[in-house]
Amino acid sequence: LNLFERVSQPFSPKPNITFEFPNFVSDWIFLQSPTDLSSKPGLATPASAPTDGLNIPELDLVKTIPRGRLFSNFHPGHRVAAYTLVKIFKDAPTVADMLNLAAHPDVHDAVNEHIFVYALSAALIQRKDARSLRLPPIYEIFPGKFFETKVRSEAQINVQQKKEPATQEPIIIDKNFAATNRVVENKVSYFREDLGINSHHWHWHLIFPVEATGEIINPPDRRGELFYYMHQQILARYDAERIANGLARVTSYHDWDEPIMEAYFPKLTNANGAIHWASRPAGLVLKDINIPDEGVELGIEFQINNLELWRTRILHAIHKGSVAKANGEIIYLDETTGTNTLGELIEASQWSADKLFYGDLHNFGHIAVCYIHDPDRSHSENMGVMGDSVTAMRDPIFYRWHKFIDSLFQQFKATLNPYTAQQLTLEGITVNNVEVRRNATSDNPRSNPPKNLIITGWQESIVELDRGLDFSSLRPVQARVTHLQHEDFSYRIQVTNSTKTTQEIVFRIFLAPIADEAGRPFSFREQRLLMIELDKFVVRVTPGANMVKRKSDDSSVTIPFERTFRDLEAAVPATPLAPGGVPTDLPTDRMTNFCGCGWPDHFLVPRGAPNPGMPFTLFVMATSWKEDRVVNGEDSKKLCRNAASYCGILDEKYPDKRPMGFPFDRPPDKMITTLAKFIEKSPNIKTTEIRIQFEDRIIRRFPQQ
Ligand code: CUO
């Protein structure tokens, strides 16, 4: 029995099951069948129909988005509907009450299925009493948002022919399904259409909603700055993939009268195959959006002029150094909170200083692009993928739009004083050397792979689709996806502490390409924007010489592979096929306090280039934890803790006092033209050149065959 299964179908069996979670004995709510209930006493017990005595709250607002319609969390009207349901779920006195309400046919079968999943997921994350419950992967709930329509038909044929699961071959997902290689942008579709990357983006927007529901009045700590930083890092990572594939870096999309030449044809449908996502052919130009209220659904109307006006006002604020609130109060855009203030303004969230004046720039950009083909819906067409945070990253225009958004933040950063050598230096700590080594493999534990070389390649993984396919059968349907993977590696950092006491040191590790697609070396001004955060961690460094070792899969940026691809109970370590890449037993805390948000580990490093590989700068900086530390509670079980760099920690402060992206978030002093010069006075920083070598073959399978 699974509330996240076949969400467009009536809930079945009809609710003669009551959910009870007396002691939270398990964090597993996704039971597969009613028989599972009896085997897990205390978890959920069959009881009489909970319809008796269950008050169904008023759902008129929720129902303004009819069933079957695609849902956009960038659309204010859609958000009203979704947040109303989030609040209803959050207001249920207990988790069991909430689940019973969600299972009730007047709710489950009556509200829009996308809103249902959004609201239940958001409520499960936001309710403190539901923290131990876990969501299934979003691509299992809505395979139609990840896999082409053909996959659904194939699955249906398999099910109808009643092929036994044991003999049934998984459906093979072509990693080039959206276009041929004649489309240059398709060279990086393995990034744009990756399951883990798109799941991360959905979770990020789920845990940082645009408006609060219920009692939350303050935004999550540094929410606006995280909006800037997480998306900036997506751009840096995407640019690294582009360079590796011989493509130029993404250009900002800010000439809104110009046609958009990069087309995108998603070939996606919703789960029951009835509704497709619109295609965006090359050459379309943004038009004013004028979608009338349609009976129930709230319309939306704005002009491209509005976007231009809001952009001007925001730039005005950036160059004036302050924003004005509606009541006239001035908020200065200073070093400490300026980025955050701007983030809330630009996105724009409920915490914008003045939403009426500074508008809804970023969200409405998503809306304008997703309706570009039918801006008044006179053709009754659905939106394109840019409208939904689950699918937006598939479209090349996402990156151009976000490059524009990022350019606003960069203009602000350019108004701040560059970091001085003193701000970059930590007295008494010298990083003597840094290198990376591939981990030895289990079949060759003594292997001594070349240093400073990371191997990437493809991995084939099996995913389960039946949960999200609306066929009546419960037969398993599996698909085989091919995605990027890297062999596991470790950092080895030699560090000398010349003070007399043990120091708690923060290590920040970044990676950036050295040269562009034509082999021209980047200036430091360019390279700083391409710096990808790989990890950030704290180590006690004793007086004298120390060797710090850190595994790639412990990264503060990523969630483990199993978290992307499996629920906990089904998790098994991946098995390597090729030398290198030892799947380590993940420490328990890595497995338990994830929240779905987090960059996928299989995309920790960019793909790189075929032999002899692509050169990158690896950068390590030591700073003092005493200075950077943010005091939080001691509860190490807090959600999202393990991928805090891009996701923060739920209900806690961001665990690092420095500006996000430090020390690359600001342009350097004019006199500093190279990275070498930037760090020359700081022995606590070390760089080295590494190569990432891509092998165009399967280097791992999950599970092993
Ligand atoms: Cu994540 Cu535009 O903010 O998609």
199, 338: one domain: yes
Q: How confident is the model at residue 25 (pLDDT cuts 50, 70, 90)?
A: very low
| 291/298 Cα distance (integer angstroms) | 9
> Distance, CA 368 to ligand 1 centroid (Å)?
13
ipTM: 0.99
Q: Return the CATH number at 95.
A: 1.20.1370.10
What are the structure tokens assigned to 434, written together?
A: 């840094």
Residues composing the chain: 705
pLDDT, average across residues 394-416: 98
Q: What are 501-517's pLDDT values in tens digits? A: 999 999 999 999 999 99
Instruction: Indicate the number of domains in the chain.
Output: 2
The mean predicted confidence, pLDDT, of the chain is 85
Which of 90, 113, 133 is at the close of a domain?
133
Q: How confident is the model at residue 203 (pLDDT cuts 50, 70, 90)?
A: very high
Q: How confident is the model at residue 577 (pLDDT cuts 50, 70, 90)?
A: very low
CA distance to 255, 367, 380, per residue, from 289 (Å):
17, 8, 14
Residue position matching structure tokens 């961690």 = 537
Atom of ligand 1 at shortest distance to CA of 234? 1
Three-class secondary structure of residue 495 per DSSP: strand
| 232/229 Cα distance (integer angstroms) | 5
| Domain membership flag for residue 32 | yes
Residue 34, pLDDT > 90, answer no
Atom of ligand 1 at shortest distance to CA of 402? 2
94, 199: one domain: no
> Distance, CA 389 to ligand 1 centroid (Å)?
7
Q: How confident is the model at residue 446 (pLDDT cuts 50, 70, 90)?
A: low
| Domain membership flag for residue 495 | no
| 464/702 Cα distance (integer angstroms) | 12
Q: Are strands 17-19 and 44-46 parallel, antiparallel or unpaired?
A: antiparallel
107, 256: one domain: no
The answer to whether residues 148 and 178 touch, using CB atoms and an 8 Å cutoff, is: yes
Buried-exposed string 618-636: b where 16+ CB fall within 10 A, e elsewhere: bbbbbbbbeebeeebeeee
Alpha helices by DSSP H, listed for 298-442, are 304-320, 338-347, 355-358, 361-370, 396-413, 421-424
Q: What are 218-239's pLDDT values in tens digits? A: 899 999 999 999 999 999 999 9
Residue 92 belongs to domain spanning:
17-133
> Distance, CA 499 to ligand 1 centroid (Å)?
45
Q: How confident is the model at residue 257 (pLDDT cuts 50, 70, 90)?
A: very high
> Distance, CA 365 to ligand 1 centroid (Å)?
10
> Distance, CA 597 to ligand 1 centroid (Å)?
14
Q: Which of 231, 252, 361, 400 to mutate to test the pocket of ligand 1 (most atoms within 8 A of CB)?
A: 231
Q: What are 47-106's pLDDT values in tens digits? A: 333 455 678 999 999 999 988 889 999 999 999 999 999 999 999 998 888 988 998 889
The answer to whether residues 642 and 598 touch, using CB atoms and an 8 Å cutoff, is: yes
CA atoms 344, 636, 141, 483: torsion sign: positive
CA distance to 80, 253, 272, 325, 363, per residue, from 347 (Å):
17, 16, 32, 16, 6
Q: Which of 233, 402, 403 to mutate to test the pocket of ligand 1 (most atoms within 8 A of CB)?
A: 402
29, 107: one domain: yes
- What is residue 271's predicted lDDT score, i.e. its pLDDT? 60
191, 331: one domain: yes
122, 210: one domain: no
CA distance to 351, 423, 603, 648, per residue, from 220 (Å):
10, 28, 26, 9
Contact partners, residue 671, CB within 8 Å, separation at least 6: 677
| Domain membership flag for residue 333 | yes
**pTM of this structure:** 0.90
Which of 385, 413, 441 is at the close of a domain?
413
pLDDT, average across residues 566-578: 33
Q: Return the CATH number at 194.
A: 1.10.1280.10
Residue 292, pLDDT > 60, answer yes
Residue 651, pLDDT > 90, answer no
CA distance to 466, 680, 681, 684, per residue, from 422 (Å):
57, 11, 8, 11
Percent of the chain whose predicted confidence (pLDDT) is above 90: 63
Buried-exposed string 186-215: b where 16+ CB fall within 10 A, e elsewhere: bbbbbbbbbbbbbbbbbbbbbbbbbebbee
Atom of ligand 1 at shortest distance to CA of 389? 4
192, 125: one domain: no
| Domain membership flag for residue 522 | no
Residue predicted with more confidence, 705 or 543: 543
Which of 413, 432, 454 is at the close of a domain?
413
HEC assignment per residue over 228-288: HHHHHHHHHHHHHHHHHCCCCCCCCCCCCCCCECCCECCCCECCCCCCECECECCCECCCC
- What is residue 135's predicted lDDT score, i.e. its pLDDT? 77
What are the structure tokens assigned to 241, written together?
A: 């993939």
270, 390: one domain: yes
Residue predicted with more confidence, 389 or 563: 389
- What is residue 336's predicted lDDT score, i.e. its pLDDT? 96
229, 93: one domain: no
| Domain membership flag for residue 261 | yes
| Domain membership flag for residue 282 | yes
Q: Which of 253, 385, 389, 408 to mutate to test the pocket of ligand 1 (most atoms within 8 A of CB)?
A: 389
Q: What are 157-178's pLDDT values in tens digits? A: 777 776 665 556 788 888 777 7
- What is residue 375's predicted lDDT score, i.e. its pLDDT? 96
Q: Which amino acid is at 68?
A: G
Buried-exposed string 229-239: b where 16+ CB fall within 10 A, e elsewhere: bbbbbbbbbbb
| Domain membership flag for residue 197 | yes
Q: How confident is the model at residue 215 (pLDDT cuts 50, 70, 90)?
A: low
Q: How confident is the model at residue 636 (pLDDT cuts 50, 70, 90)?
A: low
Atom of ligand 1 at shortest distance to CA of 227? 3
Atom of ligand 1 at shortest distance to CA of 363? 2
129, 254: one domain: no
The answer to whether residues 375 and 290 touch, using CB atoms and an 8 Å cutoff, is: yes
Q: What are 536-571's pLDDT values in tens digits? A: 999 999 999 999 999 999 999 998 876 666 543 323
Three-class secondary structure of residue 323 per DSSP: strand
| Domain membership flag for residue 219 | yes
Residue predicted with more confidence, 159 or 485: 485
Q: How confident is the model at residue 140 (pLDDT cuts 50, 70, 90)?
A: confident
What residues are labeled active site?
Answer: 347
201, 62: one domain: no
Question: What residues are in contact with ligand 1 under a 6 Å CB criterion?
Answer: 201, 205, 231, 362, 366, 389, 392, 402
126, 204: one domain: no
Q: How confident is the model at residue 426 (pLDDT cuts 50, 70, 90)?
A: very high
Q: What are 606-632's pLDDT values in tens digits? A: 999 999 999 999 999 999 999 999 877
- What is residue 17's predicted lDDT score, i.e. its pLDDT? 47
> Distance, CA 548 to ligand 1 centroid (Å)?
36
